[in-house]
Amino acid sequence: MSEVLDPLFSVRDKVVVVTGGFGQIGAEFVRSLHERGARVAVTSRSEVTDPAARLGLDDPDGRLLAVAMDITDQASVDAGFDRVLATWGVPTVVVNNAGLDTQPSAPPEVSGPFEEFPVEVFREVVDTNLVGTFLVTQAAGRRMRDAGVGGSIVNVGSIYGMVSPVQDIYAYKAEDTGIPFIKPVAYSAAKSGLYNLTRYCATYWGRAGIRVNTLTPSGVRRDTQDAKFQANYIERMPIGRMAEADEYNGALVFLASDASAYMTGSNVVVDGGWTAW
């Protein structure tokens, strides 16, 4: 897509930062924004020398920028934003997509019962999913405020931040391997914190024209997922399937564009009906 048909949803020429932009959902966010004319800084912990090749995009006009950023380190976050600012100016859209989750294939030491869950793992997950989002949001909002520009910050939540995991989905692991998988508490606790971080920042920066909203996805299909996990998950999903990775792009473009100009402190739930039960 080379041209936006409806200017209400335009992100053309916006400077955007997407954390975790080489991940499954993050890469789709980057592709969608780039195809619509945005300048997109893609962050990851490691250096990426050719982001266009990594994402399968043509970028003849240099609208992609790979930025090494550890979102759990304040100095790294500030350095990353300073690089974006020096290259393109103040970003007016920031997508807090980077996160850390525990898959059913995880070893038992990080997926065991609540009573034995390791505190160091809890801290690591909270540090990435909540503290990291706080640091990026703080750095982004400060620069928007100081420059006197408005903007849109989108925090990517999770259904497991809104409701508790359905542990029955994972019961087959104990039956098949003798080792139970318990969807850990850390991810749910960290993601749930994003919703009030969003509301706090929305009210704090509202008069400065800085909007802050949450986008809540549900599970995304992967070819590497266990077939039994997929079947159990889909059985509970009202829409009857898992999401494809690009099915959150529309909501993200909406939140990044002027189409959502009067929306802040809100949660856009795109979950196939999971939380409707």
CA-to-CA separations, 40 to 16, 35, 157, in angstroms, rounded: 5, 10, 21
Determine the pLDDT at residue 103.
Answer: 85
Is the CB of residue 158 less than 8 Å from the CB of residue 100? no
Structure token digits, residue 36: 């619509």
Annotated domain spans of the chain? 7-268
Query: Three-state secondary structure along 95-144?
Result: EECCCCCCCCCCCHHHCCCHHHCCHHHHHHHHHHHHHHHHHHHHHHHHHH
Pick the CATH number of 7-268 from 3.40.50.720, 3.60.15.10, 3.40.50.920, 3.90.600.10: 3.40.50.720
- Tens-binned pLDDT, residue by residue, of the chain (277 aa): 444 468 999 999 999 999 999 999 999 999 999 999 999 999 999 999 999 999 999 999 999 999 999 999 999 999 999 999 999 999 999 999 999 998 888 888 888 899 999 999 999 999 999 999 999 999 999 999 999 999 999 999 999 999 999 999 999 999 998 989 999 999 999 999 999 999 999 999 999 999 999 999 999 999 999 999 999 999 999 999 999 999 999 999 999 999 999 999 999 999 999 999 9
Instruction: Name the residue among 34, 81, 86 with its Cα closest to residue 61.
Output: 34
Please tell me which residue in 187, 195, 200, 262 is annotated as part of the active site: 187
pTM for the full predicted model: 0.95
Instruction: Name the residue among 266, 34, 89, 74 with its Cα closest to residue 26.
Output: 34
Q: How many helices (H) and strands (E) does the chain have?
A: 10, 7
| Bridge partners, residue 94, by sequence | 17, 153
159: CB partners within 8 A, 6+ apart: 216, 217, 218, 219, 269, 271, 274, 275
Distance CA 133, CA 197 (A): 9
Is the CB of residue 165 less than 8 Å from the CB of residue 185? no
Is the CB of residue 263 less than 8 Å from the CB of residue 198? no
Determine the pLDDT at residue 5.
Answer: 63
Residue with tokens 């979950």: 271
Catalytic status, residue 233 = no
135: CB partners within 8 A, 6+ apart: 71, 72, 73, 74, 77
Determine the pLDDT at residue 112.
Answer: 83
CB atoms closer than 10 angstroms to residue 46: 8
Is the CB of residue 220 less than 8 Å from the CB of residue 24? yes
Q: How many residues make up the chain in this entry?
A: 277
